[in-house]
Amino acid sequence: MKKIVFLLFQVFILNAQNATDVDLAFGQYPGFDQPVYAVERQPDGKILAGGTFVSLDGEDQNYLVRLNPDGTKDTSFDIGSGFNNYVNVIYVQTDGKILVGGDFTTYQGVEQKRIIRLNADGTKDTTFDIGSGFNGPVLNIKVQSDGKIVVAGYFTLFNGQPQNNLVRLNSDGTQDTTFDIGSGFDERILALELQADGKILVGGYFQQFQSQEQKVIARLHPDGSLDNSFDVGIGFYGVIHTINIDDNGKIFAGGEFSSFQGNDQNNLIRLNSNGTQDMTFDIGTGFNDIIRAIVFQEDGKIVIGGHFTTYQGTTQNGIIRLNSDGVKDNGFVGSDNYLYVSDLFYFDQKILVSAQFSAYFDYGKRGLIQLTDSGIADTTFNLGAESEPGFNDRITKIQYQNDGKIIVGGSFTKFKNQTQNRLIRFNIDGTTDTTFDIGTGFNSQIRDFHQQSDGKILVGGFFTSYQGEVQNRLIRLNSDGSKDPTFDIGTGFPSYISSVYSQPDGKIIVSGAFTSFNGQPEDYLIRLNNDGSKDTSFNLPGMFLGVVYAICQQPDGKILLGGSFFANTQDYLLRLNTDGSIDDSFNIGAGFNAPILDVALQTDGKILVGGWFTEFQGQPQNKLIRLNSNGSKDTTFDIGAGFEGDLYSIGIQQDGVYSIVTQQDGKILVGGDFTTFQGQSQNRIIRLNSDGAKDTSFDIGNGPNNLISGIIVQPDGKIWLGGYFTNFGGTVSSSLVRLYGDSVLSRSEVDSNSLIVFPNPVQSILTINATTKIESLGIYDSSGKNILNKFDSNSVNVSDLNPGLYLLKAYTEGKFITKKFIKQ
């Protein structure tokens, strides 16, 4: 009998659960996983939405979707595998056919460069033939009353022929040669509008038309020649993003500009039809950031959307309604939270808003929202995902605590439809830790946190309040989530915290975009004492400009910093002595060409560095490197061509390595937003051997569909991944997932005398006797698969298990103990 049991145990060791199988998933993502850029409403009330998203409520939906009027997906509109890149503009023709433009190069796997016309059911309209199409993104489309199609964007070729940023097509997709712009525009066109008289208004980045000065706005005759009767003088200082024309023929222009004809004019203006400013429309000091969308109501009021956070110096998040004279309409509520509007559509006294947001008051569906006439979320428009909702926004950091619990922070405001503002803690079995109570929580994003040796938690980010009380960008919490009043930072920091680190001696390193601390000048980096006061013994010599994203302390006390900073002659990576002076024994030479996002220290003293960089000391080195302890490159670690990925068009992310974790066996987990490794598909997570080669035993399949920003490994080998994804290898999971990892029991764990299970053999209830509290337990079958988990229990019902040998693994006092038992 002993021999049989030993052989069964050998099978258990050698046939473990696949390391990349999902152990725990965390619900669906409510709404779109990425921004919606364009929204268009059909005459029948159905809604077309396009953008950078690849899923809706956790289901694959590549860049374009049609919704029913209530927000549910219209399954009669079938795009199959869809597009291979983002959609930027949608136009519904009077015959119901749909023009779609963007930066895609295929549709349903077949070449289709940047523009397509679809039939009403989503099939390609084969009567619209653009030949080889465009060599750059299509950013705007308008259709004339005669059916001809005006297309603007950032291209230099159409169907192989020179055509700079603007073209007119016939209704069949061929170029209309009667529209001649000559050498055209020298830069991209973003805004496009047709006048009733056939003239064409364009706006964007351009500074010239046909090699003559024409700054950011122009009006063309129907034949493509410049209309000189539209005269803006020296024009704008900035960029035009959107143009719209009201019923009176007045021209609204919005964008990112600070002046018009030499006078202050922040981001919005109304022009007369001849290009002069309409002085009856007065916005005062205007908006503090970009305007991206302008729509008109029947009553003459104007809805404005963009990335702004103030209007005339008063808080106004992303959307506002103005009266016809430019005065704010106080009857329109607006958003109580961050809102980045890309497009607007007004109909029947309702407003469709495509935007990035984590919550609009208590409405938490990302990507697309419908508002009533008063600016309140219309809850009859519902994107779904109510049955198993997970996080409603991204995760920026996850950390494994000393007691085995997992703390998670980010931009989210809800988890499983319950308010949870930016911070949450999980038990080791994935259930929410209800002993950690943050109340109303934080009012803005958390960027970093770190648990001290005493269990207290330092939290830094964009926030300016905690539980409704002023708390500027940094706080320390007790282990139960309450504020620690012994940590006093006074008025705190005027700008966001990017990283925070607690040293073993209790001192705290803080970095961010701040230029003062508690009212005193302090640029970008500071060390605090345990009580929150400034540590005056820590003084960084010379210039230090920029933020730190990664802080790592070596066993000798020296401090590694990685980020987007410039420090004396050392950019992006630096090692300090314990007093803050630069450690000259660490020499990276010419160093890196772009920011560093994470630094991990190996037990042998070698240093793993990941980020956005593509060079080290002038030589190609894509996103990851290992350095020797003196800063030189470790040539035994070879990643070849390294990592590559895709960039989004409005700069939401940049491809790179965001997180690095070394396992006990020396293997290295790497996460980020890359899509290839050494030229082969590898979506956002990989495990490398100690020499930099891919560990082929760690097979993620399709992997996550978006960014991985945080990785932790439990002592039992299970792997938590946090970020901005909705799916991992076909499993729906909202921004957080746990993999089985190498959760195979070692021989040293088996049959510990500190844990007793009885009766053994057992038929139904297995009792566990331990001298300490069991925090969690799992049962594994002989194949190594984890088949049952419980939390905080000293008994488990095993009556449903098949007869055979099993192993019970309990977590107590920071360690795992394992016991064999037989189910009869």
pLDDT of 811 higher than 80? no
CB 308 within 8 A of CB 288: yes
- Distance CA(542)–CA(581), nearest Å, equals 10
Helices (H), 442-542: none
CB 54 within 8 A of CB 724: no
Of 24-33, 64-73, 733-742, least confident by mean pLDDT is: 24-33
The answer to whether position 332 is within a domain reads yes
> Mind listing the pLDDT tens digit for each residue in 298-351?
999 999 999 998 999 998 989 999 999 999 999 998 887 778 899 999 998 999
The answer to whether position 814 is within a domain reads yes
Please work out, in degrees rounded to the nearest 5, the angle formed at the alpha carbon of residue 780 by the alpha carbons of 775 and 784: 130
The answer to whether position 721 is within a domain reads no
Tokens 């055209």 sit on residue: 184
Mean pLDDT of 214-240: 95
> Mind listing the pLDDT tens digit for each residue in 385-417?
455 678 888 899 999 888 889 999 998 988 987
How would you class 785 by CB atoms within 10 Å of its CB: exposed for 0-12, middle for 13-18, buried for 19 or more? middle
* Coil vs helix vs strand at 8: helix
Helices (H), 354-439: none
- Distance CA(200)–CA(148), nearest Å, equals 13
- Distance CA(203)–CA(271), nearest Å, equals 13
Q: Which residues pair with 28 in a beta bridge?
A: 389
Average pLDDT, the chain: 89
What total of structural domains would you count in the chain? 2
The residue among 336, 363, 384 that closes a domain is: 384
The answer to whether position 810 is within a domain reads yes
Query: Residue 565 has which token pair?
Result: 């900073």
pLDDT band (50, 70, 90) for residue 212: very high
Tokens 């978006």 sit on residue: 706
Helix (H) or strand (E) holding 12: helix 2-14
* Coil vs helix vs strand at 747: helix
pLDDT recorded at residue 785: 62
The answer to whether position 322 is within a domain reads yes
Check residues 382 and 212 and name the one with the higher pLDDT: 212
The residue among 384, 405, 421 that closes a domain is: 384
pLDDT of 295 higher than 60? yes
Name the maximum alpha-carbon separation found in the chain.
99
pLDDT of 103 higher than 90? yes
CB 155 within 8 A of CB 115: no
pLDDT of 789 higher than 70? no
Residue whose C-alpha is closest to residue 639's, from 625, 627, 628: 625
Using the Cα atoms of residue 250, residue 254, residue 260 and residue 263 in order, give the sign of their dihedral: positive
pLDDT recorded at residue 3: 33
pLDDT recorded at residue 35: 83
> Mind listing the pLDDT tens digit for each residue in 144-175?
999 999 999 999 999 999 999 999 999 999 99
Residue whose C-alpha is closest to residue 367's, from 383, 378, 380: 383
The answer to whether position 595 is within a domain reads no
CB 448 within 8 A of CB 500: yes
**What are the strands, taking DSSP E only, across 462-507?**
465-466, 469-470, 474-477, 497-502
> Mind listing the pLDDT tens digit for each residue in 234-258?
999 999 999 999 999 999 999 999 9
At 636, the amino acid letter reads T
Tokens 């000391």 sit on residue: 617
pLDDT band (50, 70, 90) for residue 724: confident
Domain of residue 293, residue span: 231-384
pLDDT recorded at residue 501: 97
Mean pLDDT of 190-205: 96
At 353, the amino acid letter reads V
> Mind listing the pLDDT tens digit for each residue in 631-673?
999 999 999 999 998 544 333 346 899 999 999 889 999 999 9
Of 168-177, 459-468, 543-552, 651-660, least confident by mean pLDDT is: 651-660
pLDDT of 361 higher than 90? no
- Distance CA(34)–CA(724), nearest Å, equals 9
* Coil vs helix vs strand at 559: strand
Cα 250 to chain center, whole Å?
38
pLDDT band (50, 70, 90) for residue 786: low
Query: Residue 35 has which token pair?
Result: 């921004």
Percent of the chain scoring above 70 in pLDDT: 90
The answer to whether position 131 is within a domain reads no
pLDDT recorded at residue 343: 93
Mean pLDDT of 457-484: 97
pLDDT of 457 higher than 90? yes
pLDDT band (50, 70, 90) for residue 5: very low
CB 818 within 8 A of CB 808: yes
> Mind listing the pLDDT tens digit for each residue in 487-530?
999 999 999 999 999 999 999 999 999 999 999 999 999 999 99
How would you class 381 by CB atoms within 10 Å of its CB: exposed for 0-12, middle for 13-18, buried for 19 or more? buried
What DSSP line would sit under 15-65, residue for residue?
Answer: SPPPTTSEEEE--B-SBBSS-EEEEEE-TTS-EEEEES-SEETTEE--SEE
* Coil vs helix vs strand at 88: strand
**What are the strands, taking DSSP E only, across 297-349?**
302-306, 310-311, 314-315, 319-322, 340-347
- Distance CA(299)–CA(329), nearest Å, equals 12
The answer to whether position 339 is within a domain reads yes
At 516, the amino acid letter reads S
- Distance CA(189)–CA(241), nearest Å, equals 8
750: domain CATH number?
2.60.40.3080
The residue among 384, 407, 439 that closes a domain is: 384
> Mind listing the pLDDT tens digit for each residue in 254-267?
999 999 999 999 99
Q: Please give the C-alpha separations between residue 276 and each of 253, 272, 575, 700, in angstroms, as whole numbers.
A: 12, 5, 57, 59
Of 138-142, 641-645, 749-753, least confident by mean pLDDT is: 749-753
> Mind listing the pLDDT tens digit for each residue in 558-611?
999 999 998 877 889 999 999 999 999 999 999 999 999 999 999 999 999 999
- Distance CA(574)–CA(657), nearest Å, equals 18
pLDDT recorded at residue 7: 32
Q: Please give the C-alpha separations between residue 501 and each of 420, 506, 530, in angstroms, as whole numbers.
A: 24, 10, 12
Q: What share of the chain is helix, strand, coil (3-state, %, to 5)?
A: 0, 45, 55
Residue whose C-alpha is closest to residue 823's, from 794, 802, 792: 802
- Distance CA(259)–CA(232), nearest Å, equals 12
Query: Residue 407 has which token pair?
Result: 């703390």
pLDDT recorded at residue 8: 34
Check residues 11 and 123 and name the one with the higher pLDDT: 123
Tokens 């208590």 sit on residue: 362
- Distance CA(147)–CA(168), nearest Å, equals 11
pLDDT recorded at residue 198: 95
Mean pLDDT of 621-637: 97
Check residues 779 and 789 and name the one with the higher pLDDT: 779
* Coil vs helix vs strand at 271: strand
DSSP state of 748: G
pLDDT recorded at residue 763: 84
